[in-house]
Chain A
Amino acid sequence: MAPKKKEEPKPAAAPPKPPEPERPKTPEFDPTTITLEFTPEQIEDFKDAFQLFDRTPANEMKITYAQCGDLIRALGQNPTQAEIMHVLGKPKAEDMQTKMLDFDQFLPIHQHICKAKDCGTFEDFVEGLRVFDKEGNGTVMGAELRHVLATLGEKLREDEVEQLMQNQEDANGCINYEAFVKHIMAS
Chain B
Amino acid sequence: MGCGMGKSKLQLKKCERVSLSVPAATAIRAALLIQRWYRQYVARLEMRRRCTWNIFQSIEYAGEQDQIKLYNFFGFLMDHFTPASSERNLISHIFRENEICRDTEWERYFCYKDIEVPDSYTGPHLTFPMTFCGVSKLVEAFKHKQQLHARYVLQLLGETWRLLRILPNINQVSACHTKEITICGDLHGHLEDLLLIFYKNGLPSSEKPYVFNGDFVDRGKNSLEILLILFGFLLVYPNDVHLNRGNHEDHIVNLRYGFTKEVLGKYRMHGKKILKLLQKIFSWLPLATVIDHKVLIVHGGISDTTDLNTIARVDRHKYVSVLRPPKPTHHAVNGSKTQMMNNRNREAGGLVEGRRRVCSLTYHSSAPAYKHNLPRRSLHNQPTSSQLNWSVEEELKRRRRQAGFDQSYGELTKSDSDSDPESGETTETDEHEWKQIVDMLWSDPMPQNGCSPNEVRGGGCYWGPDVSEEVLGKHNLQLLIRSHECKQEGYEFCHNRRVLTIFSASNYYEVGSNRGAYIRMGPDLVPHFIQYQASRTSREFTLRQSIGWTERSALRALKEQLFVHKSDLISAFHEFDPNNTGLISLSHWASVTEKVLNLGLPWRVLRPQLVSSTRYGMVDYHQWIRELSITEPKLEISDNSILETMYKNHSNLETIFRIIDTDHSGLISFEEFRQTWKLLSSHLKTEISDKAIADLAQSIDFNKDGSIDINEFMEAFRLVDLSAHS
Contact = CB atoms under 8 A, between A and B. Distances in A.
A59 B353 contact: yes
Interface in B432-473: 446-448, 452, 456, 462
Interface stretch (B26-34, B199-207, B216-224, B518-526): B26-34
Contact of B448 (A56, A128, A153): A56
A61 B147 CA distance: 51
A15 B32 contact: yes
Contacts of B478: none
Interface string B3-26: 000000010011100110011011
Contacts of B48: 187
Interface string A161-172: 001101100000
Interface residues of A, number: 66
B10 A3 contact: yes
Contacts of B31: 148-149, 152-154
Contacts of B14: 3, 6
B33 A48 contact: no
Interface stretch (B336-344, B508-516, B599-607): B599-607
A37 interface: no
A15 B30 contact: no
B355 interface: yes
A14 B29 contact: yes
Given A73-B39, A153-B31, A156-B38, A134 B44 contact: no
Given A44-B604, A48-B604, A57-B448, A128 B30 contact: yes
B43 interface: yes
B32 A153 contact: yes
Interface stretch (A23-31, A75-83, A88-96, A101-109): A75-83
Contacts of B23: 7
Nearest to B455: A57
Interface in A117-169: 120, 124-125, 127-129, 131-136, 145, 148-149, 152-156, 160, 163-164, 166-167
A2 B45 CA distance: 44
A18 B32 contact: yes
B38 A184 contact: yes
Interface in A19-48: 19, 21, 41, 44-45, 47-48
Contact of A128 (B29, B43, B44): B29
Nearest to A183: B544
A86 B258 CA distance: 52
- Looking at A71, A79, A136, A184, the one whose CB has the most chain B CB atoms below 10 A away is A184
Contacts of B18: 131-134
Contact of A152 (B15, B28, B542): B28
Contact of B602 (A41, A51, A167, A184): A51
A56 to B, nearest CB: 6
B36 A45 contact: no
Interface in B50-83: 50-51, 54
A178 interface: no
Contacts, number: 172
Given A3-B10, A59-B353, A128 B33 contact: yes
Nearest to B39: A73
A55 interface: yes
Nearest to A135: B15
A57 B462 contact: yes
A146 to B, nearest CB: 11
A48 B30 contact: no
A111 to B, nearest CB: 18
B586 A41 contact: yes
Interface string A62-85: 000000011111101111110000
A10 interface: yes
A179 interface: no
Contacts of A81: 39
B51 A44 contact: no
B590 interface: yes
Contacts of A148: 27, 30-31
B702 interface: no
A145 to B, nearest CB: 8
Given A52-B602, A74-B46, A136 B35 contact: no
Nearest to A82: B32
Given A48-B590, A73-B42, A187-B544, 6 more contacts: A19-B28, A52-B50, A57-B462, A135-B15, A154-B36, A185-B37
Interface of B: 10, 13-15, 18-19, 22-23, 25-48, 50-51, 54, 352-355, 446-448, 452, 456, 462, 542-544, 586-587, 590, 602-605, 617
25 contacts: A10-B29, A15-B33, A18-B32, A45-B605, A48-B603, A57-B456, A58-B352, A58-B448, A60-B448, A70-B47, A74-B43, A78-B40, A124-B33, A125-B37, A131-B22, A135-B15, A149-B31, A149-B34, A149-B38, A152-B27, A153-B28, A153-B31, A154-B35, A187-B41, A187-B45
Interface of A: 2-3, 6-7, 10-11, 14-15, 18-19, 21, 41, 44-45, 47-49, 51-53, 55-60, 69-74, 76-81, 120, 124-125, 127-129, 131-136, 145, 148-149, 152-156, 160, 163-164, 166-167, 184-185, 187
